[in-house]
Amino acid sequence: MRIRSDSPEATETLAGRLAQLLQPGDFISLHGELGAGKTRFARGVARGLGIDPSIPITSPTYTFLNIYEGRIPLYHFDLYRLSGDDDVIALGFSEYFHGNGICLVEWSERIDSELPQSRLEICFTYVDDESRDIDLISTSPRHDRLLELLSSGDNYG
């Protein structure tokens, strides 16, 4: 499923709608160049999960993981600085990947065997300064259904 987002606010709106459909244990891989909208998307998911809007949602580039409490815990990872599965295991991230929260993982392509089979892949592609193409790709029947529900929604322009 491809959605054209014409503004950062539209990206947040899309993410907020997605968050309302998420369940404990959902894993979302975020892909895209630096500045493509991954953290903005994470902010929208956080708002959709009811995380206090006064809490800044930032990319955990140097801490690897930010945890936010909402109706479901949100575990926001940035794996850019990791070298692979061994780092994920050593840091204990696998427990989160298969836990009771929502995992949003930037740079998940840095891992292989620790990546859950059931996940939603979201790829951000620059169109222009404000617009992005956002591809949502399911790897499981659960996420197929989630995308069906999401696609029955409004225009995100």
118-149 pLDDT, tens digit per residue, is: 999 999 999 998 999 999 999 999 999 999 99
Domains contained in the chain, number? 1
Report yes or no on 155 lying in a domain. no
pLDDT 10s digits, 63-119: 899 999 999 999 999 888 887 778 877 888 888 888 899 999 998 888 888 888 899
> What distance in Å separates the CA atoms of residue 77 and residue 66, rounded to the nearest whole number?
7
Domain that holds residue 87: 2-128
Report yes or no on 133 lying in a domain. no
**CATH assignment of the domain containing 31:** 3.40.50.300
Report yes or no on 147 lying in a domain. no
Encoded amino acid at 41, one letter: F
What's the pLDDT score for residue 107?
A: 87
Count, in order, helices (H) and strands (E) of the chain. Answer: 5, 7
> What distance in Å separates the CA atoms of residue 42 and residue 28, rounded to the nearest whole number?
10
Taking each helix axis from N to C end, the angle separating 141-151 and 8-21, rounded to the nearest 10 degrees, works out to: 130
Report yes or no on 37 lying in a domain. yes
pLDDT band of 11, cuts 50, 70, 90: very high
Report yes or no on 140 lying in a domain. no
User: What b/e sequence results for 25-61 when a residue is b if at least 16 CB atoms lie within 10 Å of its CB, and e otherwise?
Assistant: bbbbbbbbeeebbbbbbbbbbbbbbebeeeeebebbe
What is the maximal distance between C-alpha atoms in the chain?
Answer: 42
Evaluate if pTM is beyond 0.85: yes
Summarize the chain as % helix, strand, coil (round to 5): 30, 25, 45
CB atoms inside a 10 Å sphere around CB 123: 17
Most confidently modeled range among 31-35, 36-40, 95-99, 123-127:
123-127
Report yes or no on 144 lying in a domain. no
Report yes or no on 65 lying in a domain. yes
Report yes or no on 115 lying in a domain. yes
